Amino acid sequence: MVTLSDRIASLHVSPIRRVTALFAEASQKKELISFGGGGPSLPPPPEVSEEIIRKVREDPQGSTAYTGTRGFLELRKLIAEDWMKHDNEVYKPESEIILTDGATEAIFCAFLSIFNKNDEVVLTNPTYLGYLEAFQLAGARAKWLPVKVEDGYQPSLEVLKSVITKRTKAVVLLSPDNPTGRIIREDFIKGLLDLAKDYDFWVVNDSTYRDIVFDKPQPKISSLPGAHERVLSVGSFSKEASVPGLRLGYALGPSEMIDGIEKVKQYTTLAPNILSQYAVLPFLRNGVKERYLRDYVLPIYKKRRDVMEEAIRKYLPEAGIVRPDGAFYFFVDLRHYLQAMDRDEQDLCNRLLTRKGVIVIPGSYFGDKGVGHVRFTFVSEPEDRIRLGVQRIGEYVFSYTFSMD
Amino acid sequence: MVTLSDRIASLHVSPIRRVTALFAEASQKKELISFGGGGPSLPPPPEVSEEIIRKVREDPQGSTAYTGTRGFLELRKLIAEDWMKHDNEVYKPESEIILTDGATEAIFCAFLSIFNKNDEVVLTNPTYLGYLEAFQLAGARAKWLPVKVEDGYQPSLEVLKSVITKRTKAVVLLSPDNPTGRIIREDFIKGLLDLAKDYDFWVVNDSTYRDIVFDKPQPKISSLPGAHERVLSVGSFSKEASVPGLRLGYALGPSEMIDGIEKVKQYTTLAPNILSQYAVLPFLRNGVKERYLRDYVLPIYKKRRDVMEEAIRKYLPEAGIVRPDGAFYFFVDLRHYLQAMDRDEQDLCNRLLTRKGVIVIPGSYFGDKGVGHVRFTFVSEPEDRIRLGVQRIGEYVFSYTFSMD
């Protein structure tokens, strides 16, 4: 057997992707209740589907041809307008925006553009699984910024200061956050940017869930003084337009960084998918995005969040939770129950799947500070099944602790 | 300004992608004759467009959802059947096939899976632009295998033996070839595989143009004894289904290698585009692919090839050419004319664009052995415009050499 590279041995297949793969292949198993995945659960706006149909029908060849590596200029202009509306910051569509295969590719190309071997990247712990090993591929090393349920999963500026060194090349900011749903505090952002100026590092501002917010708006980092030249923002249409399978995201930032991302993107995917680009053009026009989110998506997701919170408080009264201000998830501290059960959360999740048909994700998948926690996605099931799923979890935990007594 | 990584400084933006970007943005400029890009120029089979429309109309949500990182099992089964038909070799759809964002991503993930720092990769020179720096991102170093017009652009097994060392970790085989159109000789493939066994290296078998062949079939490397465990094949639907903008390709090979590619793919793009997967399902069913290529695409491309060959022989009688057996390109040796003009081929290409409105690609873009050559794509224009374009090139070359005399 010919050998593989050393880097492959240090990478793992995401356990969540395995669950998604199983699910995608076996979607007939309707008896399962899934709080597992991170996908939206509503159809995209009809304008999106209609545009795909129209374009393919009218121009089968033109709708399947190559585009430039950065994608349609027209779409980049609309993204620039969207950021102007949201963050009040001007990005040049020609030089400061590039379309990517989801935020995933934007992050990957950015990491390869930023890090030399042994540079340091600061990430919260727990954090999004998709970062956990990506920085390794660029040769970087992680410094962890722990977040706790007691602090509302807000990172501490003091702790951040203590982990920043001369080797710090980037801090990754994800807000609203996966897996905790917290929106970052404005004073943290200001302090982070001050540090970025002092120590000359990049802020990678992952805005995947930027528009999935329920009670308060997302603070704007891009428009702070000095932000433009050291903040790389990445975005995605997966969550806001409910089209994760179309794999379309983007990066905005200083032109040198976008040039770097383009250079890497030539080798990762060459060019963005043309149909996906056509699909999201109408999403960003004529207020479609704003109406879709305000009148349809956000009220449903918010209601589901509230139903899940109520169910958790009812069926798992000793669980520690922070009401998520955005994104799709509760990050539930189950240490009280796990201790009583003498089990770890991986074990519990396996048993909930096999005994109760409920899919939840072990918190340790998101970093070692997630031990004792479990991630519940609240957007993927309707309200009655959210109640039923949490009830089943509660029943299992109580029957187990009771039967062990 | 915060700095970027060293690797970015050593990467360049592909000049062809720049041309493609200009073209995609300014497709109204119909007066230009393009022999430049590498995209197919015919619409995909109606079954492909109809399936996209049907799927999006019937299930807007299901047609835009995430799939597993490896893609639909059903599609992998059809790819396995296609390779069984073509190469008479069995690949397991579950463990030995993964869908990727074009062959581009398959190559990239394979390179990261294969190479440690300072491992060597053998590539022909000239070769496909997309390899030229991709191996650097994995830390590998290139050893070049020159090919010449006088040898029909066939690489020499003797020269291959002389560049193989203990550090050789892979040899990349592209057949039919970009930029030369040559189909590799069977004795070279056998010799290459013997060396791969002796020296224990990978063969990366890029089959992007596998089915774009005109006179003779592509020799089958995968089914040779000992091939299965050391050959990684990559394929693409871009050329064979005329859907480059749908960005769908795949890798087939030993399960350990496919596991490695999956690990990297989690971070490059997470999952393949779902609509693209639906689109190509009918392409691989009920003989659609075979009929589309045999009855529609190949006769048109072959005729265009023959027309271009005739035009080159007529208008550029001193050019050195090899009739391409497959793919989309003539790699034209213009050293005779360039010497008379005292120009390099980059200069000539610039002048052909600005003075004659004809787009061709400098051969040096494909490696230093391409100096003095120019790539002409023969599939992208209809026959009369092929004649007209080559005629304009001939007129320019002759008027220039005449006016200089």
| pLDDT tens sequence across A164-186 | 999 999 999 999 999 999 999 99
What three-state secondary structure class fits A107?
Answer: helix
Any chain A CB within 8 A of the CB of B102? yes
Q: Is the pLDDT of residue B402 over 80?
A: no
SS3 annotation, chain B: CCCCCHHHHCCCCCHHHHHHHHHHHCCCCCCCEECCCCCCCCCCCHHHHHHHHHHHHHCCCCCCCCCCCCCCHHHHHHHHHHHHHHHCCCCCCCCCEEEECHHHHHHHHHHHHHCCCCCEEEEEECCCHHHCCHHHHCCCEEEEEECCHHHCCCCCHHHHHHHCCCCEEEEEEECCCCCCCCCCCHHHHHHHHHHHHHHCCEEEEECCCCCCECCCCCCCCCCCCCCCCCEEEEEEHHHHCCCHHHCCEEEECCHHHHHHHHHHHHHHCCCCCHHHHHHHCHHHCCCHHHHHHHHHHHHHHHHHHHHHHHHHHHHCCCCECCCCCECCEEEEECHHHHHHHCCCHHHHHHHHHHHHCEECEEHHHHCHHHCCEEEEECCCCCHHHHHHHHHHHHHHHHHHHHHHC
Residue B200 to residue A2, Cβ atoms within 8 A: yes
Q: Within 10 A of B6 (CB to CB), how many other CB atoms are there? A: 10
Per-residue pLDDT at B399: 87
Tell me: domain A46-286, CATH 3.40.190.150, correct?
no
Dist. CA B380–CA B40, nearest whole Å: 7
* Cα A297-A302-A305 angle, rounded to 5 deg: 130
Q: Which residues of A touch B247 (CB under 8 A)?
A: 101, 269-273
Q: Is the pLDDT of residue B30 over 80?
A: no
- In sign, the C-alpha dihedral spanning A139, A145, A146, A150 is negative
Per-residue pLDDT at B306: 98
Q: Which residues of B touch A257 (CB under 8 A)?
A: 4
Work out the pLDDT band at A37, boundaries 50, 70, 90.
Answer: confident
- Which among B93, B87, B159, B112 is positioned nearest to B257, based on CA atoms? B112
Query: How do strand A329-333 and strand A97-100 relate by DSSP bridges?
Result: unpaired
Tracing tokens 């950021």 back to the chain, one arrives at A83
Structure tokens at B32: 């230009």
What three-state secondary structure class fits A206?
Answer: strand
Per-residue pLDDT at B405: 44
Asked if A112 and A262 touch (Cβ cutoff 8 Å), the reply is no
Q: Is the pLDDT of residue A255 over 90?
A: yes
Tell me the average pLDDT across A251-259.
96
Tell me the average pLDDT across B195-216.
96
Work out the pLDDT band at A27, boundaries 50, 70, 90.
Answer: very low
Q: Give residue-wise pLDDT tens across range B315-348.
A: 999 999 999 999 999 999 999 999 999 999 999 9
Q: Which residues of A touch B266 (CB under 8 A)?
A: 11, 13-14, 17, 130
N- to C-terminal Cα distance for chain B? 53
Q: Is the pLDDT of residue B61 over 70?
A: yes
Extents of the domains making up chain A: 6-44+289-404, 46-286
Tell me the average pLDDT across A72-77.
98
Q: Judged by CB atoms within 8 Å, which residues 153-182 of A form the interface with B?
A: 169
Work out the pLDDT band at A21, boundaries 50, 70, 90.
Answer: low
Tell me the average pLDDT across A252-263.
96
Q: Is the pLDDT of residue A26 over 60?
A: no
Residue A130 to chain B, least CA–CA distance (Å): 7
Asked if B254 and B119 touch (Cβ cutoff 8 Å), the reply is no
The CATH code of domain B46-288 reads 3.40.640.10
Work out the pLDDT band at A29, boundaries 50, 70, 90.
Answer: low
* CA torsion, ordered A249, A254, A255, A259, to nearest 10 deg: -60
**Mean pLDDT score of chain B:** 94
Q: Domain A6-44+289-404: which topology?
A: Aspartate Aminotransferase, domain 1 (3.90.1150)
Residue A108 to residue B2, Cβ atoms within 8 A: no
Q: Which residues of A touch B119 (CB under 8 A)?
A: 5
Q: Is the pLDDT of residue B10 over 90?
A: no
Per-residue pLDDT at A23: 58
Residue A322 to chain B, least CA–CA distance (Å): 28
Work out the pLDDT band at B28, boundaries 50, 70, 90.
Answer: very low
Structure tokens at A49: 């589907």
What pairs with residue B100 in β-bridges?
B249
Asked if A276 and A246 touch (Cβ cutoff 8 Å), the reply is yes
Residue A275 to chain B, least CA–CA distance (Å): 7
* Among candidates A41, A262, A273 on the partner chain, residue whose Cβ is nearest the Cβ of B273: A273
- Which among A275, A170, A100, A256 is positioned nearest to B13, based on CA atoms? A256
Any chain A CB within 8 A of the CB of B246? yes
Q: Is the pLDDT of residue A149 over 80?
A: yes
Tracing tokens 């596991």 back to the chain, one arrives at B259
Any chain B CB within 8 A of the CB of A51? no
Q: Which residues of B touch A107 (CB under 8 A)?
A: 267
Q: Is the pLDDT of residue B293 over 70?
A: yes
Q: Within 10 A of B257 (CB to CB), how many other CB atoms are there? A: 27
Residue A204 to chain B, least CA–CA distance (Å): 12
Any chain B CB within 8 A of the CB of A226? no
- Among left, alpha and beta (phi > 0; psi -120 to 50; other), residue B42 is beta
Dist. CA B276–CA B247, nearest whole Å: 7
The kind and range of the H/E element at A51 are helix A46-58
Dist. CA A140–CA A255, nearest whole Å: 23
Amino acid at A236: S
Any chain A CB within 8 A of the CB of B58? no
Per-residue pLDDT at B38: 86
What pairs with residue A330 in β-bridges?
A376
Q: Is the pLDDT of residue A405 over 50?
A: no
pTM of the predicted structure, to 2 decimals = 0.95
Asked if A118 and A169 touch (Cβ cutoff 8 Å), the reply is no
Q: Is the pLDDT of residue B404 over 60?
A: no
Q: Is the pLDDT of residue B368 over 50?
A: yes
Share of chain A above pLDDT 90, in %: 86
What per-residue string of b and e applies to A171-203 under the rule 16 or more CB within 10 Å gives b? bbbbbbbbbbbbbbeeebbebbbebbeebebbb
Looking at the predicted complex, does its ipTM rise above 0.85? Answer: yes
Asked if A356 and A395 touch (Cβ cutoff 8 Å), the reply is yes
Q: Calculate the CA A20 to chain-centre distance.
A: 15
Residue B28 to chain A, least CA–CA distance (Å): 13
- Which among B104, B143, B108 is positioned nearest to B122, based on CA atoms? B143
Q: Which residues of A touch B53 (CB under 8 A)?
A: 52-53, 56-57
